């Protein structure tokens, strides 16, 4: 069982993604904006982060960059899960350090596949 941090400002998205993560047998933790997500990543050191992009305080691109460049959290893979579906958004997200990019609405199998690919062992 892995520990997965879900960062999204939408309660319905948090609940939906949490349900999928727990159905896959993993422990889910949540944060409601990018700043809280960065703090939770440093505090909890999850095995994977699922990060929305459009959020208040610190957007997902900024939060991903912060997690991927901090010595204590750079080993944690970040997956951007967002409605931003332009090629430039995808390229920018990957340049911030994201390991994968999923656009909403996504299907459960797609999310499960990416989670499986990025978790150790």
Say whether pLDDT at 114 is over 70. Answer: yes
Strand runs labelled E in the chain: 3-7, 27-31, 48-51, 78-82, 100-103
pLDDT of 81 strictly over 90: yes
What pLDDT sits at residue 117?
A: 96
Domain 26-116 listed as CATH 3.40.50.2300: yes
How far is 112 from 108, CA to CA, in rounded Å? 6
Q: Give the predicted TM-score (pTM) of the model.
A: 0.97
Rounded Cα distance between 43 and 103, Å, is: 27
- The residues spanned by each domain of the chain are 26-116
pLDDT digit string (tens) for 2-51?
A: 999 999 999 999 999 999 999 999 999 999 999 999 999 999 999 999 99
Instruction: In whole angstroms, give the CA distance from residue 78 to residue 55.
Output: 16
Q: What local confidence, expressed as pLDDT, does residue 6 receive?
A: 98
Distances in whole angstroms, Cα of residue 67 to Cα of each of 91, 117, 119:
18, 20, 17
Query: What average pLDDT does the segment 85-94 reach?
Result: 96
Closest to 54 (Cα-Cα) out of 3, 103, 91: 103
């Amino acid at each position: 069982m892995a520990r997965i941090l879900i960062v999204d400002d939408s309660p319905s998205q948090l609940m939906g993604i949490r349900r999928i993560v727990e159905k896959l047998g993993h422990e889910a933790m949540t944060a409601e904006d990018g700043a809280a997500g960065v703090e939770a990543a440093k505090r909890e050191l999850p095995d994977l982060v699922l990060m929305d992009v459009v959020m208040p305080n610190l957007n997902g691109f900024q939060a991903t960059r912060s997690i991927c460049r901090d010595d204590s959290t750079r080993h944690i893979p970040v997956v951007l899960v967002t409605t931003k579906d332009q090629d430039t958004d995808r390229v920018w997200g990957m340049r911030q350090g994201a390991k994968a990019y999923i656009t909403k609405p996504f299907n459960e199998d797609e999310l499960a596949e990416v989670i499986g690919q990025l978790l150790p062992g």
